[in-house]
Chains A and B, each alone.
Chain A
Amino acid sequence: MEEASPVRYALHGILVAAAAALAVAWVLVPIAISVLYAFSTPQDYYDPNKVIPIRFTLEHVRDLLALGASKAAFNSVVVAVLTIVLSFLLGLPAGYAFARFVFPGRDALKLLIVGMRMFPIIVIAVPLATLYIRLGIYDTPLGVALAHTAMALPFVVLVTSSIFAGVPRELEEAGLVFGLNRLGVFLRITLPLALPGLAAAAIFTFIMSWNEVFIASILTTLNRTLPAFILVSAMAAPDFIKFAAGFLIVLPAMVFVFIARRYLIAMWGITLR
């Protein structure tokens, strides 16, 4: 490397900052604009000289909620919570088994679970609609949650297994030495240590279910989740309702991610330095 002169050093710093700013702006500007438009008055929006609106109103979001979005949002929450409960009930033991036991067929089983997820979720939805009508769970949050669980389960297994693998085995062994049984070790040592990571995985499962639209719109007609409701209803509405709809879908996901951001990033295997 050539000798770094102060000028060169400063220039380098500016270029790096500019590149980072560009990446951040590319993500943030569209989000900020859509939030601003969700609350801006029609006069400001239609005024060709007001690039950034300055007068705001809650009317559009209120209209959208009155049109049925509040019920749809409630359905979305019910579906997402059911999905978390179901996929963790099923997936957590499997994740623990993959993290802690050496047994014949371990890799093959893991591959099988991930491989089944390679089938697109669209395949799931259409035949399930017919089955659900027969079972009487068509158009119910439970029905959507059962399908969302199939979507989230491989993710839960993989992520929980890497979280459990991060808990030192020595601590568990110490617990066994001091007279706890397997279940006791899991409940009193492993689970508490894994909890932050598991919470992050749960939040991500929530977001996956909250955002999913194809399954939800095929498996419901009246009890739609929020994205399904908006896909069908808000698209015919005027622009402001569309902007408000975008805001309503994005908001919870962003809040959750903000709360869990450190663990979310760790979950994907990135160590921030």
Chain B
Amino acid sequence: MRYRLLAEKLDRILPYLLIAPTVVYMGFFVGYPLVQGVKLAFFDEQGRFTTENVDYLLNSPLSKFRDALFYTLLITGIVIPVEFVLALLLAFFFNSFRFRGKNAAIYVTILPLTISDVAAGLIWYSMLTGNGFANKLLLNLGVISEPIQFFGWQNRDMELLAIIITEVWRSTAIVFVILLAGLQMISHEYLEAAEVFGANALQRLRYIVLPMLMPSIQAALIIRTLFALQVFGSVWVLAGRDIPVLAGEAFYEHTQMHHTGVAALYALIIAAISLSLGALYIRFFKARYLEAGR
């Protein structure tokens, strides 16, 4: 009898015991770095408050903070809408048509999911470089008479374009996967019912598909924005510091300049922007979602 009671008690705390290791581990690997990051960024070695790192960030001629902030937001602001539209079109396409080899086509379309930012940068470097495939193809087709130069600091705008192409190529897949999964969860019965009541395709999209897809859209946008603000590998490979970004400057300050405090400050800035944009997305989409009548 006592044994049964004990077993029941164990059953009640068992789930907490199973989850505790994860929470403790995550708590340590998020909590400790956050506290230490604030310490590194705002306090000197004696533990006194200092604005030295902030001053360096904002005022030093060596610091590229303003450019980095500008380019990070610019890349995020261009890449995310482009790949969102692209992924939405792809998801609608694969969800509405049946054809032979469709599964293989979906599989290929999501391949970039497994390709890292560094690898994607190298792949597009081989496409766009002076003797690369794109230039040779256009030259031989007679579209251009001399190679388009994508790289080198004199060609910053082209470098930016190369980064945007690479990022869109690499990360449309994740948005596509989330949206396709969301579309497939919408029951056909809703659409059929709407059709019976005379809703046309546009109305069905506006009043059924989009509202029901909203949670997926929100998830995809949050995930992609978080990653876009940390953009690093592809930029570093394609443009180095010609196009400074926040994560790249954190890397540079830490590994080249040994400014640990400045690197920590960059990390905190990225975290702050990430969290506020995440909160904004959740608010904005929740409002729309409720308004649509669910």
Contact = CB atoms under 8 A, between A and B. Distances in A.
A94 B18 contact: yes
Contacts of B211: none
Chain B interface bracket (under 10, 10 to 19, 20 to 34, 35 or more)? 35 or more
A72 to B, nearest CB: 12
A123 B237 contact: no
B161 to A, nearest CB: 15
B19 A94 contact: yes
Contacts of B16: 97, 103
Contacts of A250: 115, 119, 123
B27 interface: yes
Contact of B139 (A48, A130, A218, A227): A48
Nearest to A271: B184
- Interface size, A (range): 35 or more
A243 B122 contact: yes
Interface stretch (B55-63, B152-160, B263-271, B283-291): B263-271
B124 to A, nearest CB: 6
A270 interface: yes
Most buried by A among B105, B114, B127, B268: B114
Contacts of A97: 14-16, 18-19
Contacts of B14: 97, 101, 182
B26 interface: yes
Interface in A239-273: 239, 242-243, 245-246, 249-250, 253-254, 256-257, 261, 265, 268-272
B150 interface: no
Contact of A211 (B119, B230, B251, B260): B119
Contacts of A45: 131
Interface in B185-240: 185, 226, 229-230, 232-233, 236-237, 240
A56 interface: no
B101 interface: yes
Given A126-B254, A127-B37, A270 B116 contact: no
B250 to A, nearest CB: 6
Interface string B167-193: 001000100011011001100000000
B68 interface: no
A126 B25 contact: no
Nearest to B166: A30
A223 interface: no
Q: Which 6 A-B pairs have the closest CB atoms?
A: A246-B122, A211-B116, A127-B36, A150-B29, A97-B18, A93-B18
Interface of A: 13, 16-17, 19-20, 23-24, 26-28, 30-31, 33-34, 37, 45-46, 48-52, 90-91, 93-94, 96-98, 101, 103, 106, 109, 112-113, 116-131, 146-147, 149-150, 153-154, 157, 182, 207, 210-214, 217-218, 227, 230-231, 235, 239, 242-243, 245-246, 249-250, 253-254, 256-257, 261, 265, 268-272
Interface of B: 12, 14-16, 18-19, 21-23, 25-27, 29-30, 32-34, 36-37, 39-40, 90, 93, 97, 99, 101-103, 105-119, 122-127, 129, 131-133, 136-137, 139-140, 169, 173, 177-178, 180-181, 184-185, 226, 229-230, 232-233, 236-237, 240, 247, 250-251, 254-255, 260, 263-264, 266-268, 270-271, 274-275, 278
